[in-house]
Structure 1
Amino acid sequence: MIKGIIFDLDDTLISEKEYIKSGFKVVCNVISEQHNLNFDKVYQKIFELFDEDSDYVFNRLLDCFNIEYEKEYILELLKIYRGHSPDISLYSDAEEILNYLAGKNYKLGIITDGYKITQNKKLESLDIDNCFDCIIITDELGKDYWKPHKKPYGLCRENLGVDYSFLIYVGDNIKKDFITANKLGMHTVQIVREDGVYKDLDSIEESYKADHVISDLNELKDIYNL
């Protein structure tokens, strides 16, 4: 019998690409104002560069517009990106399943990786704290405790007061979301989003795979008779 569900955040409850778009918009606005450039051209260019390669995208963007810069300027842009208040929303099926579960007696949690300032800003924008009994931002424990470390899973289980065997863990990243949850005896579900950053990842070993693969969070209702 299922007593609790723990969700990943990025590309599970929200679109990571939607967050990236929001952050790029803020950064491009800063660059265009500081260097007297057309915002639309800068914003279009950053996505062209990002689609080619996500590494050093701010450096490459500045190079494209012949802007001289020091390392400190890149760090400033990164700080703006990570610390901005994002224009994001829940996936429609995430909103539906959370509204559905709100009428039940299930314990709900979130375990999310990512810089703590960034993840906190996302949660503030979403205003969903009251939907969950426990929210673990792994970076607040320390970088060594990001998934797949077992500590965040253990803390969440302890806060929810539910044994692992009665918990579902739902995430998207097959490289890190499920291997620990599987070892701990949790039920595991991979959600594959069309716009997901990790949707095309392949698992190396069976132990990394989830028990079920879905494309809509509402499928949880039928799989586990929620």
Structure 2
Amino acid sequence: MILVFDLDDTLYDEMSYVISGLRAVALFGEASFGWDAGQSLAFMQAHLLQHGRGKVFDAWLHTHGQHSNTRVATCVHVYRHHQPEITLFPLASKVLKHYFGRWPLYVVTDGHKVVQQKKIEALRLAPMFKRTFITHRFGIRHAKPSLHCFEIIRRAERCEWCDMVYVGDNPAKDFVGLNRVGAMTVRVNTGSHASVVARPGYDARTTIPDLASLPEVLGQWVES
């Protein structure tokens, strides 16, 4: 079997990355303008909880009377290029150690190329995986549900689709393409998509509450 994982909210808590990035921007504000980093982070977290990520930097800069498109762009740059303070879910670490050396392991993740690469580096994933695919490196058109990166894996491993397992969390895009070609798909109910009701055909073949249940599910598939 070929075991492929999503990244965000599958192997680690994506919100921890968001908070790490906001902290980096808060420290930038303190270094550049003297604004208290603790107060800035508290403001941005509160805005995030109430309004989402979209305009958090705009709102923060407005409170200091320093809003401009250039400063917002600078904040986005700091956020995307900071060194993330993130860690694997304990269960993810356990599962990866269990399968490392037994099955070929891969990552396929969507997102900004720099952001995703920095996450991969911060989580120290490279030694455990044969390859980590950031879909946007191949063009946004090859983001999930595109099978482009999965097809590269399939050819490299010389396997059939039924020999591939993908573990993800987002039913809007993670599973629908793979379901159609007969790959095994597992939805892990962690993160912001846990309560999302999937459209017909979009959900994984199997749903588990967390990665602790993955070995049992995979064992059943191997035996069947």
Q: TM bucket by the smaller chain? A: over 0.9
Instruction: Confirm or deny that 1:213 pairs with 2:211.
Output: no
Kindly provide the CA deviation profile for residues 169-223 of structure 1, in whole angstroms up to 9, marking residues without a partner as x: 1000010000011012111100011xx1222322122x10111111221312111
Cα distance between partner residues in 1 of 2:127 and 2:167: 19
The answer on whether the counterparts of 1:189 and 1:210 sit within 8 Å (CA) in structure 2 is yes
Which aligned segments of 4 or more residues in structure 1 are displaced greater than 4 angstroms? Answer: none
Instruction: Confirm or deny that 1:201 pairs with 2:196.
Output: yes
Q: TM-score, normalised by structure 1?
A: 0.92
Aligned match of 2:217 in 194, 217, 223?
223
Cα distance between partner residues in 2 of 1:147 and 1:29: 34
Q: Where do residues 40-55 of structure 1 align in structure 2 (5 Å cutoff)?
A: 40-54=38-52, 55=54
Residue 102 of structure 1, CA deviation: 1.6
How many residues are paired up?
219
SS at structure 2 position matched to 1:218: helix
Residue 159 of structure 1, CA deviation: 2.7
The answer on whether the counterparts of 1:6 and 1:169 sit within 8 Å (CA) in structure 2 is yes
SS at structure 2 position matched to 1:199: coil
Structure 2 residue aligned with 1:56:
55
AA at the equivalent of 2:15: K
The answer on whether the counterparts of 1:111 and 1:156 sit within 8 Å (CA) in structure 2 is no
**Please, which moves more after superposition, 131-140 or 67-76?**
67-76
**RMSD of aligned residue pairs (Cα, Å):** 1.3
Residue 103 of structure 1, CA deviation: 4.5
Cα distance between partner residues in 1 of 2:198 and 2:140: 23
The answer on whether the counterparts of 1:50 and 1:57 sit within 8 Å (CA) in structure 2 is yes
Cα distance between partner residues in 1 of 2:109 and 2:216: 25
Structure 2 residue aligned with 1:164:
161
Instruction: Confirm or deny that 1:20 pairs with 2:14.
Output: no
Structure 1 segments unaligned to the other structure (5+ residues): none
Structure 2 residue aligned with 1:83:
81
Percent of paired sites with the same residue: 27
The answer on whether the counterparts of 1:11 and 1:197 sit within 8 Å (CA) in structure 2 is yes
The answer on whether the counterparts of 1:22 and 1:86 sit within 8 Å (CA) in structure 2 is yes
Residue 17 of structure 1, CA deviation: 0.5
Q: TM-score, normalised by structure 2?
A: 0.93
Q: Where do residues 1-226 of structure 1 align in structure 2 (5 Å cutoff)?
A: 3-54=1-52, 55-63=54-62, 65-104=63-102, 106-193=103-190, 196-205=191-200, 207-225=201-219
* Larger relative contact order (Cα-Cα within 8 Å, sequence gap ≥ 6): 1
The answer on whether the counterparts of 1:172 and 1:191 sit within 8 Å (CA) in structure 2 is yes
Residue 132 of structure 1, CA deviation: 1.0
The answer on whether the counterparts of 1:190 and 1:214 sit within 8 Å (CA) in structure 2 is yes
